[in-house]
Amino acid sequence: MLDLDFLNNNYQDNRPASEIVAESIAIDILTGVLRPGQRIIEHTLCDKYAMSRTPIRGILNQLSSFGLIRLIPNRGAFVTGVTERDIDDFFYMKSLLYPQCVKWAIERITTEEMAMLEETFDFMEFYTATEDFEKMKKINHGFEAIIYNASHNAELEKTLLRYDFFIRYANINIKYPLNYLPAVLEEHRAIFMAFKDKKPDAGYEAAQIHAYKSMLRRK
């Protein structure tokens, strides 16, 4: 599967080669090296990544399910465009689903998952204090990924991860002011406290507020 952490490319690469290549192609699409509408010839990818067509075709299937390319039978793969309006839409769609995801997660989270969430939140406090922006971005995604998973609804988890994928892409070049960090931490703290207190509705509201303010910060 496509690992969403790839934009922070400082991970251990003991994963399947096909995953690494899939990410590389995804980056090429998102950064405009491969342009919207452009046709992708399988053989050129084979040459570039020194792979045969079989795994390349599997990768193209994955990218297709991720919405980055469009596969037309007997015609090939074509790059999908992502507009600014699409990104706005993703923010909005996330603001609709995320609060309910938090609510379900609070109702359904396991002891192990809760322990992970607590540990992650500790790191968030630490990195906010040390003003480590890159680490913070990474840990924020980890925090939300745990919540998505704790909703115990695989489809909802995949949906939100997909939205984040595009949202993160949109934010890749945006440099938020450093004083956003404490504000984001407090929004996350409100969500975290709802988990601690096992209050689903409080979590729902806190998530709504966070999603709304995230949209405002984008502007």
Which CB sits closer to DNA, 1 or 172? Answer: 1
With CA atoms as reference, report the closest residue to 111 among 185, 46, 26, 198: 198
Alpha-carbon distance of 191 to 167, in angstroms, equals 20
User: Which of positions 93-122 make contact with its own copies (CB under 8 A)?
Assistant: 93, 96-97, 100, 104
Contact call for residue 80 and its own copies (CB under 8 A):
yes
CB 136 within 8 A of CB 127: yes
Alpha-carbon distance of 136 to 126, in angstroms, equals 9
Alpha-carbon distance of 42 to 32, in angstroms, equals 18
- Residue 17's binding partner among DNA, its own copies, none (Cβ under 5 to 8 angstroms by kind) is DNA
- Residue 96 falls in which region: left (phi positive, over 0), alpha (psi -120 to 50) or beta: alpha
Chosen residue from 8, 9, 44, 54 binding its own copies by CB under 8 A = 54
With CA atoms as reference, report the closest residue to 121 among 141, 101, 104, 143: 143
Alpha-carbon distance of 121 to 184, in angstroms, equals 12
Contact call for residue 13 and DNA (CB under 7 A):
no
Chosen residue from 29, 30, 34, 40 binding DNA by CB under 7 A = 40
We find the least distance from the C-beta atom of residue 69 to DNA, in angstroms, to be 11
Contact call for residue 183 and DNA (CB under 7 A):
no
- Residue 154's binding partner among DNA, its own copies, none (Cβ under 5 to 8 angstroms by kind) is its own copies
We find the least distance from the C-beta atom of residue 120 to its own copies, in angstroms, to be 24
Tokens of 194: 């709802």
Contact call for residue 16 and DNA (CB under 7 A):
yes
58-87 footprint of DNA as x/- string (CB under 7 A) = x------------x-xxxxx----------
Q: Measured on CA atoms in the order 53, 29, 137, 151, is the torsion positive or negative?
A: negative
Number of residues in contact with DNA under rule CB under 7 A: 22
Binding site for its own copies (CB under 8 A): 1, 16, 54, 57-58, 61-62, 64-67, 71, 73, 80, 86, 89-90, 92-93, 96-97, 100, 104, 153-156, 158-159, 162-163, 166
